[in-house]
Amino acid sequence: MFSKILIANRGEIAVRIIRACKEMGVSTVAVYSKADKNALHVALADQSYCIGEAEASESYLNENQIISTALLAGAQAIHPGYGFLSENARFARLCRKNGLVFIGPDPESMERLSDKARLKELAAAAGLDVIPGTKALPTLEEARNAAGTLGYPVMLKACAGGGGRGIRLIRGEDELEEAYLQARAEAQAAFGDGSVYLEKYIFPARHVELQILADEQGHVVCLGDRDCSLQRRNQKLLEETPSPAVSPAQRERMAALCIEAAKKLGYVGAGTLEFLLDREGRFWFMEMNVRLQVEHCVTEMLTGVDLVKWQIRIAAGIPLDFLQKDVPLSGCAIECRINAQSCGTLKMLHTPGGPSVRFDSCLIAGTAVSPYYDALLGKLVVYAKTREEALRKIRAALCELVIEDIPTNIEEQLNIVGDERFVTGNYDLTFMGNR
């Protein structure tokens, strides 16, 4: 096991990783921008270093500065969290070059799986049903021909995409040119790669993902599914596990398929296979996320498996000590993402408590929400033995949560969990008016 880990991230995920390390007896190193000098993750870490200005490009995306800091602090490994450098194969390779362990998949796996168009070919070969689509389309003319072949409506997506960026729904040929140019520009700005591809638009559909863990010894387990259909502009707002739209038989079948696919792909670490579930009950593979997901904690609440600790153990070469049959999937867990709606400084915070209630956050009195980073303030998660009880618990927890002087979406989340469509489990990606 590592004795010291640098966390190359900020906010609630940096706090989450530091807490896991403390429980494992591992020392931690925090890095921070000038805007985050008073942040909670800085105070909690055993060591902390300022690595640059507020802009992420000057700090949390500064690969050489982070590597230098890790070496200076005597860290043996780097945990990237999610976002920033978590899916950057170049950074993972730079870690290896400098004798540091990147806590995540190896750079070769990231490169192989990061191109979504190429990944679909690999997924189909591994036995998954793949949404009909294309390879990268370097010209508008190629995109126009491909869209005509697939048939409108189609989805235009960034090959190196993530976080809902570089995605456009195209309902007819008259929308194609503008969407193509916009998506390419957005993808280039966000990922440094402007390549895009097309896929058939599956509608209506739910967004269901399956969480896996895979160790270096070839053991793979699936930790159930999450329903992530509550989204606005392709940004997730609420997740629950298990999905109310998936039957036990479907769940068992998909878990087996995902385990087999991960083995064929030679994947090691925590990963998520994402699908669209159509109204006929067919799962269509979309993509694989090769990092810790924001919504990992809802799976932890259901299964009792600490994904962050297992990421660290797997990176240290430690094999999984449980089998698929040992994973408990009974009950229901629901997560609401609490987002800031504008900048501000936190005056007072009150978080709900009680059995199986969790609030993952970086908030403390005096925390300033800056315009430089993501709007996520925290994740409110509950678990109960039944979905009905979990619904009552999440409503009570949202009513009790108080975040003063920072406008948030708490009221919106209350409206969502009280909506009849959500209460009955009869919802899909159109819930927030996305389509």
User: Of the residues 148, 182, 200, which one is the last residue of a structural domain?
Assistant: 200
Number of Cα atoms under 13 Å in the Cβ half of residue 143: 28
Residue 10 lies in a domain: yes
Instruction: Provide long-range contacts, Cβ within 8 A and 24+ apart, for 392-398.
Output: 393/334, 393/354, 393/356, 393/357, 394/334, 394/336, 396/352, 397/352, 397/354, 397/357, 397/359, 398/336
Number of Cα atoms under 13 Å in the Cβ half of residue 173: 10
Residues 287 and 341 occupy one common structural domain: yes
Q: Indicate the SS3 state at residue 84.
A: coil
Burial of 248 (0-12, 13-18, 19+ CB in 10 A): exposed
Residues 245 and 356 occupy one common structural domain: yes
Residues 322 and 384 occupy one common structural domain: yes
Residues 396 and 415 occupy one common structural domain: yes
The pLDDT of residue 96: 98
Q: Indicate the SS3 state at residue 104.
A: coil
Give the list of residues 6+ apart from residue 280 with CB closer than 8 angstroms, or none: none
Annotated catalytic residue within 184, 291, 313, 337: 291
CA gap 53, 57 in Å, rounded: 8
CA gap 317, 326 in Å, rounded: 21
Q: pTM value? A: 0.93
Residue 124 lies in a domain: no
- Total number of residues shown for the chain: 435
| Beta strand spans in 63-121 (E) | 77-79, 101-102
The pLDDT of residue 234: 85
- 291 catalytically annotated: yes
User: Of the residues 200, 220, 240, which one is the last residue of a structural domain?
Assistant: 200
Residues 283 and 375 occupy one common structural domain: yes
Residue 109 lies in a domain: no
Domain harbouring 13, CATH code:
3.40.50.20
Residue 70 lies in a domain: yes
Cis amide leading into 355 (omega within 30): no
Residue 150 lies in a domain: yes
Residues 91 and 8 occupy one common structural domain: yes
Residues 289 and 383 occupy one common structural domain: yes
Taking the CA atoms of residue 148, residue 150, residue 156 and residue 160 in that order, the dihedral angle to the nearest 10 degrees is: -130
Sequential pLDDT tens for the chain (435 residues): 999 999 999 999 999 999 999 999 999 999 999 999 999 999 999 999 999 999 999 999 999 999 999 999 999 999 999 999 999 999 999 999 999 999 999 999 999 888 777 788 888 988 899 999 898 999 999 999 999 999 999 999 988 776 677 899 999 999 999 999 999 999 888 777 899 999 999 999 999 999 999 999 999 999 999 999 999 988 999 999 999 999 999 999 999 999 999 999 999 999 999 999 999 999 999 989 999 999 999 999 999 999 999 999 999 999 999 999 999 999 999 999 999 999 999 999 999 999 999 999 999 999 999 899 999 999 999 999 999 999 999 999 999 999 999 999 999 999 999 999 999 999 999 999 854
Residue 365 lies in a domain: yes
Residues 214 and 334 occupy one common structural domain: yes
For the chain, the domain total comes to 3
Residues 232 and 381 occupy one common structural domain: yes
Query: Domain limits at 413?
Result: 205-423
Residues 215 and 195 occupy one common structural domain: no
**Could you identify the residue written with the tokens 């009909």?**
132
Domain harbouring 168, CATH code:
3.30.1490.20
Domain harbouring 219, CATH code:
3.30.470.20
Residues 297 and 354 occupy one common structural domain: yes
CA gap 318, 6 in Å, rounded: 19
Taking the CA atoms of residue 14, residue 306, residue 210 and residue 408 in that order, the dihedral angle to the nearest 10 degrees is: -40
Residues 314 and 168 occupy one common structural domain: no
Q: Which two tokens stand for residue 18?
A: 């530091």
User: Of the residues 103, 124, 148, which one is the last residue of a structural domain?
Assistant: 103
Residue 113 lies in a domain: no
Ordered DSSP codes for 158-212? ETT--TTTT-EEE-SGGGHHHHHHHHHHHHHHHHS---EEEEEPP-SEEEEEEEE
Ordered DSSP codes for 12-77? HHHHHHHHHHHHHT-EEEEEEEGGGTT-HHHHHSSEEEEEE-SSGGGTTT-HHHHHHHHHHHT-SE
Residue 394 lies in a domain: yes
CB burial of 27-47 (b: ≥16 within 10 Å; e: otherwise) equals bbbbbbbebbeebbbbebbeb
